[in-house]
């Protein structure tokens, strides 16, 4: 689509089914997508007793009380839980990036006995609903005396048990032309070198995707964090957020919304930072 | 291949790590630490407010008992039983456990709970209320708060719709339906008369008015006729617009009291446990009152009853049974604990504690207390804990009720199926 | 059973050719390297994955309340499931409808937006972030409230319908429509597959497009002969994973229906029913049996997927 060389005022630009329409559609669509989030933000600024009585988007009274109350409502200031979550999440991201890419490279590029069997087993592991595996798993970690440590949350990631990401990276690696590996091999590179120097740099989008999703899913993961970190000193954000709600009596909706918004900050920030790496892997030339 | 070696060492390291952690494990958990202190684990659900109060009460207990340390294990209600049963499955049960009456027999009948008859002083608790925590003569759980299922009303909305508050000592179900539809009509639909409830306690009250009890041993004891007549009340409410239609009823029914019609001032009545008055009142920002449930014409009893809001129990596997009992005793009998917890776990079951904190209770709970005192003489005995498998009862009741309200099943058919399914669930 | 990546469309052509000058020494070296790369994964398989899987298989043949020891009862759980439990069959049906309708819709949506957002449009990262936001909220308890705001009797949708004089119902809690709103909720959280598509698009070497442009191929032609084929591994990935995940959907129904699967069981997802059996009715043996039936269904579908992939998925590593 040709763009006019001279800047034309927005309203007078020719209506050519081009950018404006596209932007308008995207923005309109974005608003529909965002309505619930906007409602949540607006609710977080309403006095608590008005949240359900005045369901409109625009608050008639604005208060910061939910934020100040929510921050201090629990045993520790909310920042404490953010930090706990950051530790668990950060370690998980690093572990997943390393362990899953190692396994993915083997599945995608190397030949070895029983490969099919192992691959099937890997995918099979995510086909059982976690509600039935969580009890045996808890029993195991409890016997190891690891309850209320971060090991039950991080160890599975260190040991590459997340088939989603292995499979994801396998698929990405397999879109890369094999000539690249072979060229490196001719230059005398071993598998490790090919992995580090050739495959990984070209998989940057896949690595970024893995990092983003690991971050988000770990940050939001509720049940395993509740089970394994059930001492109030170890609480993470999702667990802390639930404590604002109590189906059987009084819920603190306002602080819950306010702290939810705050808890969205880190994931959103990580997402923004991570998506920058969703760049073209092989721009024009693949290898030097 | 240096890379290979590096990988090997990483793998070895991981294996070693596992071995070490495995070696460290296996010791008694939650056991004695240095200096002869004993650590108790106390698992409970609740809101942020309850967490704060409980932590405060624990601190007081620890100050009085320097050799005992209590670790609260807190969860939200939705995941409470999932995490509790997982811990029990792993032989990792908390020493002190908060339970509600629905779950009591699930745990007690399976040998999870300890008999507290001789270790916790329950002299100041109403004997009939206390009996709900006993099974076959063993006191598995001590009630720490009480409740009655009742009707809540917003007098201002009733009056602004041109109606008058009913005389709740005489009103009938017909009066109730009539008032509800008149409120909707009188407010031009801005306020709906009431909202439907599928709480088993509601049906229990209705059945009692017909002289039937809900359970008899491991069986439902109500006749299909009773259930059908009960549904007829709700069908009539929908018909006369005294309540929202089936779809909206199902929608608001799935929410908590603070999002209910009454809580958002779009409805004038509703039925809940009496300890939810505070939550409803703070959500609505208006004055709410408790009323007696309506009666069947000619019924000899109102059918209302007290029920423990929750219990404290101790694990039968606890290595610190004496300390656990001591903590339960403190939470239930010590006025100092009562002063911190107030009515957060229901109005204190211990009469002396209740007398001591009476004036410090929040306004809504003082109102609840006054209401309970007023109706106390009319109440029937607190029903025994429902049989094992009854946790599903509320779900079963809601499901078949909705089938009927949406017109997808005839009341006859639904009542038969409900009884069959409920019996299968509690027998198995 | 699931086929492996070892089988790919053109293996038949490439393998013998390579096998020719491939010494056994070399393949042994390659295998050893592979097992080294897989070392952490193997450790995880042994220590973390296998145990619970085997345990759940064993438990599926027992009567297990979680609170007492498990009692072996043979095939009883499985027999009961198919002969005495209409709610089980209903939950399977509800889940199947949900998967069959929502997965293609969600993927089509995600792909379309990824294509739009892959173009050189100003403010791309802004849009991308906005479209991703709902997925961040997907499992939050706040969603239940928000969904009632939109699809409730007094919600946004009915407000819009009222403008056109249409009287809507409470969609979110009507047995005929509740599942539909959950399907929309699933489609609404299309962010994850969208990001994966986007990453896949970024992986396609731009040299291909340049070459095609030199050959005079228009945008549509480029899409059909470059973008689409090269994206097939990623489409395949999203399809396989979304199928697996959707069959296991739990949270959405759990929070929107307040844990009941209501109204009238219309949103009783398979895993929600499994959860209720295991943790509310203390019948973990039955829940484990349900899990294994689901596992077989998912594995069967995934296997078919892998077999079919030979005909439509194109891998860059096959020369």
Count the neighbouring beta carbons within 10 Å of the beta carbon of residue B428.
12
Assign C33 a pLDDT band (cuts: 50, 70, 90): very high
Question: CB–CB of B76/B107 below 8 Å?
Answer: no
The residue of chain C with its CA nearest to that of B10 is C40
Looking at chain B, the whole-number percentage of residues with pLDDT higher than 70 is 92
Instruction: Give the residue from B10, B260, B402 with the most C CB atoms within 10 Å of its CB, the best one to mutate.
Output: B402
Based on the fold, state whether residues B296 and B162 are members of the same structural domain. yes
The residues, any chain, with a CB within 8 Å of residue C255's CB and separated by 6 or more, are: C139, C141, C143, C144
Instruction: Choose the weakest-confidence range: B19-23, B157-161, C231-235.
Output: B19-23
B259 with B395, same domain: the answer is yes
Q: Which of A40, A39, A287, A264 is nearest to A187 (CA)?
A: A287
CA distance A54 to chain C (A): 12
- Are B254 and B220 in a shared domain? yes
Q: Structure tokens of A47?
A: 């006095």
> What mean pLDDT do residues C39-54 have?
91
Residue C245 is predicted with a pLDDT of: 92
| Spatial distance between the Cα atoms of B174 and B208, rounded to a whole number of angstroms | 17
Q: For the segment A213-271, what is each residue's pLDDT rounded down to a tens digit?
A: 999 889 988 888 988 988 888 899 988 888 888 766 677 888 989 999 999 889 888 98
Same domain assignment for residues B277 and B390: yes
Q: Are B85 and B163 in a shared domain?
A: no
Please indicate, yes or no, if residue B368 is contained in any of the structural domains. yes
Tokens of residue B309, six digits: 């809001």
Q: List chains adjacent to chain B, taking adjacency as at least 3 C-beta pairs closer than 8 Å.
A: A, C
Give, in words, the CATH class of A83-229+265-275. mainly alpha
Are B333 and B240 part of one and the same domain? no
**Cβ atoms of B180 and B191 closer than 8 Å:** no
Asked if residue B269 and residue B314 are part of one domain, the reply reads: no
List C-alpha distances in Å: B315 to B40, B91, B122, B133: 11, 10, 18, 14
Burial class (CB within 10 angstroms; exposed 0-12, middle 13-18, buried 19+) of A203: buried
How do residues C237-294 score in pLDDT, each as one tens digit?
Answer: 999 999 999 999 988 888 888 888 879 899 999 999 999 999 999 999 999 999 999 9
- Out of A139, A222, A248, name the one closest to residue B89 (CB): A139
B141: DSSP letter: E
Q: What is the DSSP string of C28-87?
A: HHHHHHHHHHTHHHHHHIIIIIHHHHHHHHHHTTEE--SSS--EE-TTHHHHHHHHT-HH
| Of the partner residues B51, B83, B275, the one whose CB lies closest to the CB of residue A230 | B83
Subunit contact C319:A123, Cβ cutoff 8 A: no
The pLDDT value recorded for residue A18 is 67
Q: Is B286 on the interface with A (CB under 8 A)?
A: no
Whether the pLDDT of residue B10 is over 70: the answer is no
Chain B interface includes A132 (CB < 8 A): no
**Final residue of a structural domain among B373, B391, B413:** B373
Same domain (yes/no): B289, B422: yes
Pair A155, C48: CB distance under 8 Å:
yes
Write the pLDDT tens digit of every residue in C80-138. 999 999 999 999 999 999 999 999 999 999 999 888 887 666 677 778 888 888 887 76
Look at residue B279 and tell me whether its pLDDT is greater than 60: yes
Based on the fold, state whether residues B361 and B392 are members of the same structural domain: no
- Note down the domain range covering B250: 148-305+383-427
- Taking all residues of chain B, what is their mean pLDDT, rounded to a whole number? 89
Output the pLDDT for position C14: 37
Provide the mean pLDDT of chain A: 84
Whether B11 is in a domain gets the answer no
| Window 21-80 of A, Cβ < 8 Å to C | 22-23, 26, 29-30, 33-37, 39-40, 55
Are B212 and B291 members of one domain? Answer: yes
Residue B32 pLDDT greater than 70, yes or no? no
For chain A, which residues make up each domain, given as ranges?
A: 15-63, 83-229+265-275
Q: Please report the pLDDT score of residue B374 as a whole number.
A: 94
Span B75-118, pLDDT tens digits = 888 889 999 999 999 999 999 999 999 999 999 999 999 999 99
In chain C, whose CA is at the least distance from the CA of B315? C67
What is the band of C9 on the pLDDT scale with cuts at 50, 70, 90? very low
Per-residue pLDDT at B127: 93
Taking contacts as CB-CB distances below 8 angstroms, the residues of chain A near B283 are 49, 52-53
Instruction: Give the domain CATH number at B138.
Output: 3.40.190.10
CB contact B389 to C (< 8 Å): yes
Which of C26, C40, C146, C282 is the best substitution to test chain B (most B C-beta atoms within 10 A)?
C282
The whole-number pLDDT of residue B177 equals: 97
Whether ipTM exceeds 0.95: no
Residue B105 lies inside a defined structural domain of this protein: yes
Q: In chain A, which among 195-234 make CB contacts under 8 A with chain C?
A: 195, 202-203, 205-206, 208-209, 212-213, 216, 220, 222
How much of chain C exceeds pLDDT 70, in percent?
89
Q: Give the span between the Cα atoms of C43 and B68, in whole angstroms.
A: 41
CA of A192 vs chain C CAs: smallest distance (Å): 8
Asked if B264 reaches chain C (Cβ–Cβ under 8 Å), the answer is: no
Contact C5 A119 (CB under 8 A): yes
Mind listing the pLDDT tens digit for each residue in C174-186?
A: 999 999 999 998 9
Angle (CA) C134 C139 C143, round 5°: 70
Helix (H, G, I), strand (E, B) or coil at B148: strand
CB-based contact B282 A249, cutoff 8 Å: no
B215 and B239 fall within a common domain: yes
Q: What is the pLDDT of residues A132-170, one digit of tens each?
A: 888 899 999 998 899 889 999 999 999 998 899 999 999
Question: Which of C132, C137, C199 lies at the smallest CB-CB distance from A271?
Answer: C132
Looking at residue A247, what is its pLDDT? 63
**Model pLDDT, residue A106:** 95
How high is the pLDDT of residue C22?
56
Q: Architecture of C11-19+80-318 per CATH? A: Orthogonal Bundle (1.10)
B213 located within any domain: yes
Residue B81 lies in a domain: yes
B13 inside domain? no
Contact A272, C125 (CB under 8 A): yes
pLDDT for C6: 37
- The tokens for B25 are 């494990």
Tell me what the pLDDT averaged over chain C comes to: 85
Preceding peptide of C263 cis, ω within 30°: yes
Residue B30 has pLDDT above 90, yes or no: no
**Least confident piece of the model among A55-64, B178-187, C68-77:** A55-64
Contact B83 A251 (CB under 8 A): no
Domain assignment present for residue B46? The answer is yes
Is the pLDDT at B187 greater than 70? The verdict is: yes
Alpha-helical regions (H) of chain A: 19-44, 65-72, 78-109, 115-124, 130-143, 151-158, 163-175, 179-186, 191-193, 200-202, 204-220, 223-228, 237-242, 253-275
* Band of residue C144 on the pLDDT scale cut at 50, 70, 90: confident
* pLDDT tens digits, B340-374: 998 888 899 999 999 999 999 999 999 999 999 99
Partner residue facing C170 (CB), from B107, B111, B248? B248
Question: What's the pLDDT at C165?
Answer: 87
Mean pLDDT throughout C201-213? 82
Question: Does C2 or B406 have the greater pLDDT score?
Answer: B406
Q: How far apart are CA C175 and CA C185, in angstroms?
A: 16
- Given a cut of 50, whether residue C3 has pLDDT beyond it is no
Residue B62's pLDDT band (cuts 50, 70, 90): very high
Residue A177: pLDDT above 90? no
Domain ranges in chain C are: 11-19+80-318
The rounded distance, in Å, linking the Cα atoms of B74 and A240 is 10
CA distance, residue A233 to nearest chain C CA (Å):
22
Q: What is the pLDDT of residue B254?
A: 85
Does B50 touch chain A if contact means CB atoms closer than 8 Å?
A: yes
Interface check for A255 against chain B (CB to CB < 8 A): the answer is yes
The mean per-residue pLDDT over the stretch B123-129 comes to: 93
| pLDDT grade for C2, boundaries at 50, 70 and 90 | very low
The pair phi, psi for residue B152, each rounded to 5°, is -105, 145
Q: What's the confidence (pLDDT) of residue B229?
A: 97
Q: Which residues of C touch B86 (CB under 8 A)?
A: 66
Structure tokens at B58: 């624990």
pLDDT the model gives residue B35: 60
Residue A287 has pLDDT above 50, yes or no: no
Is B42 within a domain? yes
């Amino acid at each position: 689509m040709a763009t006019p060389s001279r800047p034309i005022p927005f309203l007078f630009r020719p209506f050519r089914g081009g950018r404006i329409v596209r932007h308008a559609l995207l923005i309109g669509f974005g608003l529909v997508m965002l309505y619930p989030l906007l409602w949540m933000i607006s609710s977080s600024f309403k006095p608590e007793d008005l949240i359900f009585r005045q369901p409109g988007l625009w608050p008639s009274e604005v208060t910061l009380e939910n934020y100040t109350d929510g921050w201090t409502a629990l045993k520790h200031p909310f920042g404490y839980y953010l930090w706990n979550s950051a530790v668990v999440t950060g370690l998980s991201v690093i572990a997943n990036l390393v362990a899953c890419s190692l396994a993915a490279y083997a599945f995608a590029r190397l030949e070895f006995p029983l490969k099919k069997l192992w691959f099937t087993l890997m995918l099979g592991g995510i086909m059982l609903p976690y509600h039935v595996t969580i009890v045996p798993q808890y029993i195991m970690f409890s016997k190891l005396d690891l309850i209320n440590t971060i090991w039950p949350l991080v160890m599975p990631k260190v040991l590459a048990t997340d088939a989603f990401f292995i499979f994801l990276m396998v698929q990405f690696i397999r879109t890369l032309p094999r000539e690249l590996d072979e060229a490196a091999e001719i230059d005398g590179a071993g598998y490790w070198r090919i992995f580090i120097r050739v495959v990984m740099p070209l998989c940057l989008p896949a690595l970024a995707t893995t990092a983003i999703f690991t971050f988000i899913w770990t940050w939001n993961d509720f049940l395993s964090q509740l089970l394994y970190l059930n001492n109030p000193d170890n609480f993470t954000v999702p667990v802390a957020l639930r404590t604002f709600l109590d189906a059987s009596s009084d819920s603190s909706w306002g602080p819950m919304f306010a702290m939810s918004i705050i808890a969205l900050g880190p994931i959103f920030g990580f997402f923004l930072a991570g998506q920058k790496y969703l760049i073209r892997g092989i721009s024009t030339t693949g290898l030097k | 291949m240096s890379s290979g070696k590096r990988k090997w060492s990483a793998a070895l390291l991981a294996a070693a790590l596992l071995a070490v952690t495995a070696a460290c494990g296996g010791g008694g958990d939650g056991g004695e630490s240095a200096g002869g202190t004993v650590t108790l684990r106390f698992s409970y659900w609740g809101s942020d407010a309850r967490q704060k109060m409980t932590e405060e009460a624990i601190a007081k207990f620890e100050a009085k008992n320097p050799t005992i340390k209590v670790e609260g294990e807190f969860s939200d209600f939705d995941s409470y039983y999932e995490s509790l049963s997982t811990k029990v499955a792993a032989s990792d049960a908390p020493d002190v456990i908060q339970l509600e009456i629905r779950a009591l027999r699930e745990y007690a009948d399976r040998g999870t709970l300890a008999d507290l008859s001789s270790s916790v002083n329950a002299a100041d608790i109403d004997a009939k209320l206390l009996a709900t925590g006993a099974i076959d003569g063993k006191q598995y759980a001590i009630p720490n708060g009480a409740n009655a299922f009742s009707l809540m009303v917003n007098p201002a909305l009733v009056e602004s719709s041109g109606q008058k508050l009913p005389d709740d000592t005489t009103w009938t179900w017909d009066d109730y339906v009539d008032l509800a539809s008149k409120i909707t009509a009188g407010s031009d639909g801005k306020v709906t008369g009431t909202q439907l409830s599928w709480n088993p306690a509601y049906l229990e009250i209705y059945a009692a008015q017909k002289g039937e009890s809900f359970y008899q041993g491991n069986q439902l004891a109500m006749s299909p006729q009773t259930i059908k007549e009960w549904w007829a009340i709700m069908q009539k409410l929908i018909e006369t617009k005294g309540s929202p239609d089936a779809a909206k009823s199902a929608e608001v029914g799935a929410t908590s009291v603070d999002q209910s019609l009454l809580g958002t001032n779009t409805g004038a009545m509703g039925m809940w446990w009496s300890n939810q008055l505070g939550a409803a009142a703070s959500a609505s920002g208006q004055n709410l009152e408790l009323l007696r449930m309506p009666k069947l014409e000619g019924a000899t009893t109102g059918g209302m009853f007290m029920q423990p809001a929750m219990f404290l129990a101790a694990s039968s596997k606890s290595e610190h049974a004496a300390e656990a009992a001591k903590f339960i005793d403190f939470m239930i009998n010590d006025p100092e604990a009562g002063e911190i917890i107030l009515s957060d776990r229901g109005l204190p079951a211990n009469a002396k504690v209740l007398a001591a904190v009476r004036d410090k209770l929040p306004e809504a709970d003082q109102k609840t207390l006054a209401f309970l005192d007023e109706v106390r003489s009319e109440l029937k005995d607190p029903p025994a804990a429902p049989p094992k498998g009854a946790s599903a009862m509320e779900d079963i009741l809601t499901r078949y009720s909705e089938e009927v309200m949406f017109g997808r099943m005839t009341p006859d058919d639904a009542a038969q199926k409900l009884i069959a399914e409920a019996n299968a669930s509690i027998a198995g | 059973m699931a086929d492996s990546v070892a089988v790919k469309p053109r293996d038949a052509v490439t393998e013998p050719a390579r096998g020719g000058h491939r010494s056994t020494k070399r393949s042994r070296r390659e295998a050893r390297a592979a097992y080294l790369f897989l070392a952490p994964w193997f450790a995880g398989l042994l220590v973390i994955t296998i145990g619970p899987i085997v345990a759940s298989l064993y438990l599926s043949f027992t009567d297990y309340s979680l609170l007492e020891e498990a009692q072996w009862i043979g095939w009883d759980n499985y027999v009961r499931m198919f002969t005495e439990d209409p709610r089980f069959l209903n939950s399977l049906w509800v889940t199947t409808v949900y998967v069959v309708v929502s997965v293609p819709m969600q993927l089509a949506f995600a792909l379309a937006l990824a294509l739009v957002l892959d173009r050189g449009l100003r403010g791309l990262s802004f849009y991308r972030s906005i479209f991703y936001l709902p997925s961040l909220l997907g499992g939050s308890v706040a969603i239940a409230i928000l969904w009632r705001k939109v699809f409730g009797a007094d919600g946004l949708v009915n407000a819009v319908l009222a403008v056109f004089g249409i009287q809507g119902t409470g969609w979110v809690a009507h047995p005929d429509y509740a599942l539909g709103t959950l399907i929309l909720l699933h489609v609404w959280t299309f962010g994850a597959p969208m990001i994966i598509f986007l990453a896949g698009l970024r992986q396609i070497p731009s040299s291909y497009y340049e070459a095609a442009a030199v050959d005079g191929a228009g945008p549509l032609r480029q899409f059909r002969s470059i973008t689409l084929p090269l994206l097939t591994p990623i489409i395949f990935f999203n399809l396989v994973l979304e199928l697996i995940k959707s069959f296991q959907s739990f949270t959405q129904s759990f929070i929107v229906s307040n844990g009941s699967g209501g109204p009238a069981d219309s949103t009783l997802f398979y895993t929600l029913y499994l959860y209720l059996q295991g943790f509310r009715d203390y019948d973990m043996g039955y829940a484990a049996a349900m899990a294994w039936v689901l596992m077989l269904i998912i594995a069967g579908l995934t296997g078919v997927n892998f077999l079919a992939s030979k005909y439509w998925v194109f891998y860059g590593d096959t020369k």
